[in-house]
Structures are given as structure tokens and as C-alpha cells.
Chains A and B, each alone.
Chain A
Amino acid sequence: MIPELAHFFCVLAFTSAVALAFAGFFGAKQRQPVWVKAAKQIAIAQFLFLLCSFVLLDIAFLLDDFTVQYVADNSHTLLPWYYKASAMWGDHEGSFLLWTLVMAGWTGAVALRSESLSYDMRGYVLSVLGLINVAFLLFLLSASSPFVRAFPLEVTTGSDMNAILQDFGHLVHPPFLYLGYVGFSVAFSFAVAALLTGRIDAAWARWSRPWTNTAWALLTVGIALGSWWAYYELGWGGWWFWDPVENASFMPWLAGTALIHSLAVTEKRGAFKSWTVLLALLTFTLCLVGAFLVRSGVLTSVHAFAIDPERGMYLATIVALVACLSLSLYAFRAARLRSRISYHGISRELLLLANNVLLTLALAVIFLYTLYPLFYEWFTDGGRVSLGPPYFNRAFVPLMMLLAGCLALVPISRWKRTPLQLFRPSLYILGGAFVLGLFVPLILSGALHIGVTVCVAVAIWILSTHLADLYRSRRSLILSFLGMSIAHMGFAITVIGVTITSGFSVSQDLRLAVGDEVRVGDRTYVFEDLRVVHGPNYVAHQAQFSVGDVRLLPERRQYTTRNTVTTEAAIRPGFTNDLLVSLGEPVGEGAWAVRIQEKPLIRWIWLGAFIAAIAGFLAVFDVRYRRLKHREARLVQEPQLGSG
């Protein structure tokens, strides 16, 4: 009964989405504010229906209802309850239900918090959000329903959750990622509404910015969590693999970052209008392209979902429809969005332009490299290639360093034009940072390393110019400015983390037996013991290593139901250095393959990302936004009501 109820609520949500798309559009087009008001109620109802559907299906998981095919395929009686609950989004169908729930959540939030928008803008925005969820829910109900019963019924204990997903990371990473992904649909629908109404101005940008910031911050957290999870769960110390699925989440992030900055120019200077709109359309399209790439199986990846061509066809159709419709609208309407702006020499506008150009280039490179195997297959009639991390790094790192260089100048730059002498002190700082940067590789490895020096110097440069600027304006700090500065410093911290980890990690693959001692880096590792431990649904070999007074217990787990093996690395986390021991396979004569690694400053990578995300949230809560929002809203609303 419970899964049928869940299914029923999902159908209700689908009908609400249809109603929402219609009511919003009709209300806006025919100037019927009542319909727009109704759209608000429908949006909230849609969210509640999907919430019921989601919770009910999750209850089926908690109750081990293996008469439901999806539950039987992805859960097991022996799982702890919290993994049963998260097994729900362990595969395509359930995770897509989560996706639509998040979509409805954003729609409901927009409905509740858009009182200050003019009713036609509000109607279009809600209508577009509703329409997107119509497509998603139609896909869910027709091609990937998680509610289907298993016939004929068999007595079973479930075929278990994917072993790698039985982890805290899976509890938090997908929800945050989806919150971010789907959140960009708000910026998307604002852009579509702007094209439909022909109004794009400071007020429009001011409405879009908090939503875009929130989505961006959530996506940042999602990606950072994913990277951290890959680091400790995949077990071999990597934190970014340039895997198609990672790229699928990283491309919208790059576009979203560009969008945040371009929106700032649109708000403050009334410029980049048509580009901002295009970016907003592009960012969400990339989220959809990502969903397509991950779920259709056109690219092979470590964490792709099960493959189903019909599913791929449907998703490709959604992507094609959403993008073609919105881009056609853009082609017809964007010519109206004209920017009048003048700036000279090095100004803040120029820096933001550079930011957008560099981020777009980085995006294009990753996009082409990720899809290269597809193109290759297409042009060579079935030939296959793959591009490894070296290709990505060679193109991506220089672009990011240029971006970092621009970023350091931001606090000094002014709008319109910046007198050149203002830059002089910052060049001295750069000189100092460069000298500091020279010493870093010398101290860490005793040799010069120019790449490390440049990256570290630029990061220090960013930190110092921003800190100096924060200190200078300490009496008149506003949240959005604070957010911007802190986010930039977060970026610098990530750059330092990436540089030092990539440059000075120590890694050794060894063949060790109990009792062996080995020296890696400056530390001695002792292989003290090896035992068999039993978990709820796995058996593991657990090794005991000691380093000084630290004890490390890496495991190699054999999950009994699916007969899969996972490597649980033992990590001693540290602010300055991680120690990591992973236990591989037995290599004969009582010896085991062991990898011992030291990863200096690896925590800084995620620390920087989390700092940037928090800064993104900070900016959202700027009071100044809200007050201005109300005033501008009225200004825009009244004179333009009749002109349409």
C-alpha cells in the first residue's frame, strides 16, 4: 500500500506541475494576478506532494519492503537504518525522485519569497519552473519509476546497496549536489522571464543574485563533499580524477561562477546584460547535460548509473527541448538588451570581463575534453579514446592561474577606471609573495620548483590584497562585500592546498608483512597486526599500523551480498599533513600490497571550498539587498505595467 500511495502522490505532483506551468503563464500573459497568486499555492502543493511521495518511498526502504523492485535491487535487511534511508538515492530512479523533490523545493521557495516581484515576472518565473518539473516528473513516472512492484514475488533479503555508497559521503553528497544543480533552474527561469518581459535591469539582477549565490554555494559544498568522499572512500588518496561525472558537476560550477560575477556587473553597472542572460541559460543547460551524460551511459565512468538507452533518449530530448527553446528565445529577444557602458584601462569591469572570459575558456576546454571520446567515436565510426588527467591539467591550471592573478587585483580596482598608481603597492606585495613562494619548495623538498612558487605566490598575493582591503574598510563592512572577499580568500586557500598536495605528496607502494618496518617521508611505519573483523554486512581484513603514537587501521572489506571489495584507507587527518595507509591485496607469503602516503595541506583544498561556500551564503543575507529589492520592485512595476 505504501509504495502505491507514494506513486499516487507523485502523480499528484505531476498534475500540480502542469497546473503551475499553465497558471503562471496564463496569469502573466493575460494580466491576471489572481492566477499568479494561485500559482504560488500550486507550487507549494507540488512540493508537499513530492515530499509525501519521497518520505513514503523511504519508509518502504526502512521497512525492507522488497516487494518493491527498486527497494529489492538497492537495499538489504542487514544494512543499518541510516544506510537503508540513503539507499533510496543510491541508484537512478530514487535519485531522480530526489532531484524532482529538490526542484519542487526551489519552486516553492521562489513562490514564497517573490512577493516583491512584479506579478508578470513572478508568473513567468513560476511557470518556467513548473514546466521544467513537468518534464522531469513525466520522465520519472514513465521511464524510471521507483514505485514498481516486483512480480513474481520472491522471498529475498534484498540484493544490497552498492558497497561504495554505504558511507556518510553518500548521505550528504548527492543531496547537496542536487540542491546546487537544480538551484540554477531559478536563475534560468529568471532569465527566461526577463527575455519574455523584455525587462532586465539592476532590479532584475538584484533579484537573481541571492538565488544564484545560494545555488552556487550549495553546488560548491556538493562538489567539495564529493571530492572529500572520493579521497577517503576510493581509498587510494586521489581527490579529483577528471572523471566525466566529476566534470559534469564542475562545468555548471564554472558557468555558475561566471554568472555570479557577470550578474554583479549587470547590477552595479547595467552592463553585460545579454551575456548574463546567456550564462544563466547556459548554466542550467549544463546541469541538464550533466544529468544526461551521467545517466545515459554515453560516457563510461566510475560512478555512472545503470545503462539504459531509452532513458538516455528521453533525457537527451529534455535537454534539447529546454536548451533549444530558451536559446531560440534568446536569439529573438536578446538584441533588445543593450548595455551602455564605458570603462577605461584597468577597471573593475575589465577584471570581471577577464574573469568571465577565463572561466568560459576553462569551461570550453573541459567540455571539449569530456566529450572528445563522443566526437571521436562519431567521426571515426566507433573508434574510442580517452583523455587522462594530464590533458586536463595542462590546459586548466594555466587558465586558473591567470584568473587568480586577476583576482588579486580586485580589491584595488575601481569601477570605470582605476588610476595606475593605485596598483603600485600591490606589485610590491607580489614581489614579497614571490620571494616567500621561492622558499616554500626549498623548505619542503630542498629544490627549486618554479610552478609551485608561482602558484603559492599568487595565492599569497590574493590573501594579502584582500586582507588589506578588509582592514581598510573595517568600519563600513557590508555582508555582500565581506562575502566576496572571503570567497576569494577561500579560492586562494584551495589553490595553496592543491599546489602543495600535488607538488609534495609522498606515495609509496610497498609489499609488507606483519612485523615489517618501513620509512616513508620522515616517519617510520610499523605493520603491527592483521586481523579479520566482521561488520553488519561485510567481512574485512584489518591491518594495524603505528606511526609514532598514532595507530592506523586500514581495512579491505569484502561485502558479502554483492561480493564486492572496498578499500577503506586509514587516514590520520591533520591541518598541515594527512597520513594515509591503504591495504591492497595479499601478494603471497603473508605479505600484502600496501600504499603509504603523506598528503601535505590536502585539507586546505576542501577548507577553501567550504569557506567560499559560506561566503556565498553570507552575501545572500545582506540586508541591503532586501531593502533595495522592495524599493526597486515598485519602481519597475508601475511605469511598465501597460507597455509589455
Chain B
Amino acid sequence: MAADKSVFAPLRMALWLPLIAFIGLCVVFFASLKFSPRTELPSPLIDRPIPTFSLPELRTAAVRTSADLPEEAFLLNVWATWCFPCREEHPVLMDIAADGIPIVGLNYKDDDSKAIEWLNSIGDPYRLNLVDREGDFGIDLGVYGVPATYLIDSARTIRYKHIGPISRVQWREELAPILRSLQGNDEQV
């Protein structure tokens, strides 16, 4: 019996492992509930300058840095061809671009040829399209889901983050006013 016990002692300890693992998981669950609900996604990057980058341009593969970003306030839109909601968002972006507002695209974890085909077939709203194949820059930006859109002012500071596709209503009532105020600041300066 004694020998039996010594053999099974480590095994008996192992029986506690599922419980311990689960308690760890519970901690994460409860902790994550403490964060505010997902609709208003706080970004630690708000009011910080856009992280530095050097990324290839989609069509030309030429390397671009933050110096190549538009001079005025603009939208940074994270998109991918595998992303279903991006399709819903696309016509809205086309309209925004038609109004003369610069949009910079960040093609996220995608295939270059598919991305180019997409833009050729349904229209290209982007003034500049950066490629983030591995998603590194996305991590710098705090990209949680695709699509995501950032409002960035002329000083290259991130002013607002929108998660999920932009609907026309959201554009009209949420983002456009903020963008207008950013442009307004510029004019005052």
C-alpha cells in the first residue's frame, strides 16, 4: 500500500491542475469584464503621435514613412480583403474620399495581389495604401479588429479611434464632426 501511494502521489497532485488552470482563467474573465464595454474602445494611443513606421506602398512597393502622410487631417483605415465588414464599409469610404477627405489605407495581414484586385474592381478610396503583411504596425497602433479607422490631425497625432465598419450614420454624426473640428484647428493655426 505504501509503495502504491508513493507511485500515485505525483498523479494525485496532477488532479488539481485542471482546477488551478481554471481559476487562472476565471481571473482573466473577471478582469476583462472590468474594462469598459467594447463599443467605446479606449486606445492608449489617443492624443499620442502616430507610431513611426516604414512600410511598403501597396501598388509600387516603395517604402513609405510618416513623412509621406498627408499634410492635413486624415483618416487611417485598416482593412483587408478577408474582412467581411470591410465590404460593407467600402462604399462609405468611397463617398468620404469623393468629398476630398484624404484616407490612408493600411492593408492588414493580407495578400498583395488580392488587395490590388479588390481596389481595381470596386474602387480605390485611398490616397496612400500601406502594407502591413505581418501585422506589426497594427500592433503598434493597437488594432483589435478589422476594419478600424483612426482620425489623425495635421500634427500626426491620433485623435480618435473607431472600431468596426463605419456606417453612413456614424460617419455623419460621429466621425465627420470630429474631423471638421480637427480641420478647424488647423485653419486657426
Contact = CB atoms under 8 A, between A and B. Distances in A.
B109 A511 contact: no
Interface stretch (A71-79, A168-176, A386-394, A535-543): A386-394
A512 to B, nearest CB: 9
A335 B84 CA distance: 49
Given A236-B87, A328-B19, A385 B139 contact: yes
B31 A378 contact: yes
Interface stretch (B7-15, B54-62, B149-157): B7-15
Interface in A300-336: 300, 302, 307-309, 312-313, 316, 319-320, 323-324, 327-328, 330-331, 334-335
Given A297-B37, A324-B19, A386-B146, A374 B121 contact: no
A298 B19 contact: no
A375 to B, nearest CB: 6
Nearest to A285: B22
Interface residues of A, number: 57
Interface in B129-154: 135, 138-139, 142-146
B151 to A, nearest CB: 17
Contact of B121 (A281, A309, A327, A510): A510
Contacts of B23: 324
Contacts of B42: 382
Given A384-B41, A565-B88, A584-B87, A300 B28 contact: no
A593 B145 contact: no
Given A378-B31, A384-B41, A335 B8 contact: yes
Given A383-B44, A585-B90, A241 B84 contact: yes
Contacts of B123: 511, 587-588, 593
A593 B42 CA distance: 34
Contacts of B31: 378
A234 interface: yes
B18 A386 contact: no
Interface residues of B, number: 49
A282 interface: yes
Contacts of A296: 33
A327 B88 contact: no
B109 A331 contact: no
A390 to B, nearest CB: 7
A465 B138 CA distance: 48
A638 interface: no
Nearest to A293: B29
Contacts of B53: none
| Chief secondary structure at chain B's binding surface | helix
A274 interface: yes
Nearest to B31: A378
Given A282-B18, A300-B145, A384-B143, A316 B30 contact: yes
B163 A313 contact: no
Contact of A335 (B12, B32, B43): B12
Contact of B28 (A307, A327, A371): A371
B28 A375 contact: yes
A307 B44 contact: no
B28 A378 contact: yes
Interface in A564-593: 565, 584-588, 593
Nearest to B23: A324
A389 B18 contact: no
Interface in A363-382: 371, 373-375, 377-378, 381-382
Contacts of B70: none
Given A236-B87, A324-B22, A385-B138, A373 B35 contact: no
Contacts of A509: 117-118, 121-122
Given A327-B19, A386-B145, A386-B146, A236 B84 contact: yes
A331 B22 contact: no
Contacts of A565: 88
Contacts of A323: 22, 26
A587 B19 CA distance: 56
Nearest to A388: B109
A238 interface: yes
A292 interface: yes
A455 B16 CA distance: 39
A386 B78 CA distance: 13
A553 interface: no
A611 to B, nearest CB: 29
Contacts of B16: 331
B143 A327 contact: no
B83 to A, nearest CB: 9
Contacts of A383: 44, 139, 142
B84 A302 contact: yes
A175 B88 CA distance: 29
Interface in A341-359: none
Nearest to B16: A331
Contacts of A375: 28
20 contacts: A281-B18, A282-B18, A285-B22, A300-B163, A302-B85, A316-B26, A324-B22, A328-B19, A330-B15, A330-B19, A371-B28, A382-B44, A385-B135, A388-B80, A389-B82, A390-B109, A509-B118, A585-B90, A585-B122, A586-B91
> What are the 4 tightest A-B residue pairs by CB atom distance, in nearest-first order?
A384-B144, A327-B19, A509-B121, A585-B91
